[in-house]
Structure 1
Amino acid sequence: MGARRVALVTGGGTGLGRATAKALAEAGFAVAIAGRRADVCRETASRLRDEVPGSTVHAYEADVADPDAVERLVAAVVGHLGGLDVLVAAAGIYEPVPFLEMTAEAWDRTMDVVLRGAMLCSLAAARHMRDHGGGRIILVSSVSGAMSEPDSAHYNAAKAGIISLARSMAVDIGRYGITANAVVPGWMRTPMTEEYIAQATPEELRRFNVLGRPADPAEVAGLIRYLATGASTYLTGAAVFIDGGHTAALAMP
């Protein structure tokens, strides 16, 4: 790895992706944020450069479900920033649909962004890392991948697949010095959840987890920062839950 490590964060324009990009910039990484909305990514990159003095943050437009676009993205990041040491696959989509109303289109849209996108980005990143001394791959899953959420069979299945993908990759690419892990957050305050959280009663908020509140994205980004650094060199093939104790309790107190 070079003097300044390089991290690519997909879904980096908003929510957890943005918080992760900031945490990694603060840790000294040169950060590439990527997403389909180029204007959002550019605005986020500009703001992060202001918020983290001396940081290197660049924005890239890419559809993570498109193999050619992903290959171009990784090539651009390597060309502009000099390498790729860490991938954080945080691109996501959440569109609830009751199972009996599910369509193939709705299923495919979620699978494409969440699971296919993570696989394609991981594949392109891992091939570069294999040839350049190793790296870190961090996939963002959800407690919905371990405990099914109503009206979200497609999302639940995709997030469960993320955990399995991380473990499978760890087995296949560990020999090249590449670690692969899944981060498994519970409820967070993000653009995808803010409407529900704003309408929830205090009692409903207390039922999110044993801490009684949703996470701030920065709290989850702190875990991702740990997984991206040299402190986590022996951790691979893990699904690391950071859910405020949500999965620890049969029922919330």
Structure 2
Amino acid sequence: MSRLRLQTEFFAQMQDPQAMRRMFDHLPGVFFFVKDAEGRMITANAAKLERLGLKQESDFVGKTDADFFPPDVALAFRRDDEEIIRTGRAVINRLEPWLDEQRELAWFMTTKLPITGPRGKIIGIMGMSRRCDEQENPHAAPEASAVVAFIRANLHQSLTAADLAAAVNLSERQLHRKLRDSLGATPHELMVRIRIQAAAEALTRTSVPISNIALDHGFCDQSAFTQQFRKRTGMTPRQFRQRHGIA
């Protein structure tokens, strides 16, 4: 029996198609959801429902983002979903801002994948978001937490992996392993992620010119900042600022 046939036959025997979905109910800090091609909610895990202030899934099914979010945010989500449905290209680990329980700006890593039907037509999307504020990770190694603090204290400086390793008395190899195991990131990715998060907060909370924000957060110029910002958030710094209320 081929491996593909084995897999297909196993899934065909599953009595409940949502059986694996329930695994997401037991993953702390993870928000899972499924939408159809029209943007209607199909299912979500318990954490997602709670985050939206819902007590049962029946209050979620059939609704759209417009029922839960401000018009501009809902429209942005819908356009994002439509692009995935149109192209079939997944969104992997995109940084997205979202208000936390205290209505403070928090950062989430979002992944969205297209769902195909029996004939290969895309019939919807499934997505997962998880909070990625590094200082919120209770399982991070002390050295990893120290690296995060060091980067935040030196946002305006050009840092290397060697600088980070020296700051916490590790070899570069040890540093890579600590960050990978604790935060799932390389030194370079962690530096860029933290700089982008801090710069985004400056975009939403101040009217400082974007070119100045770029330099203040360790980017060589506005062009490099825009390129990295768009790569990780799906929009330019100017678009981000406009969406979050700063002219």
TM-score, normalised with respect to structure 1: 0.27
TM-score, normalised with respect to structure 2: 0.27
